[in-house]
Amino acid sequence: MSFLEKLQSADEGKKRRWMVLITLAVMVIVVFVWLSYFNSLIQDASGRQSEIPKNTGSEFSFWDTISGGTAAAFDSLKGLFSSPKEYIINP
């Protein structure tokens, strides 16, 4: 008899324990992989940050950034609505 056949014929308590154990093992593996990925992201970001010059001479304030982003969004929307209304549909 294989493991799965033994588990299928076992009582509900044993099935529940195996389900909890297997779920915990899978959760530990997923969290470990996620933390490893997150750690590599942090290392990449800290490596790139050291390459950025500290004083570039052009400082942006919060409002300058917001107004620049808003202007770019409105320009792209204006270009969308002012473009010609010709659409090519290929069957």
Helix (H/G/I), strand (E/B), else coil: 68: helix
pLDDT above 80 (res 83): no
- Domain boundaries in the chain? 11-42
- Residues 82 and 73: their CA atoms lie apart, in Å, by 14
- Residues 80 and 70: their CA atoms lie apart, in Å, by 15
The rounded mean pLDDT for the chain is: 79
Q: How confident is the model at residue 13 (pLDDT cuts 50, 70, 90)?
A: very high
Helix (H/G/I), strand (E/B), else coil: 36: helix
Residue type, 19: M
**Residue 26's CB: how many other CB atoms inside 10 A?**
10
Q: How confident is the model at residue 1 (pLDDT cuts 50, 70, 90)?
A: confident
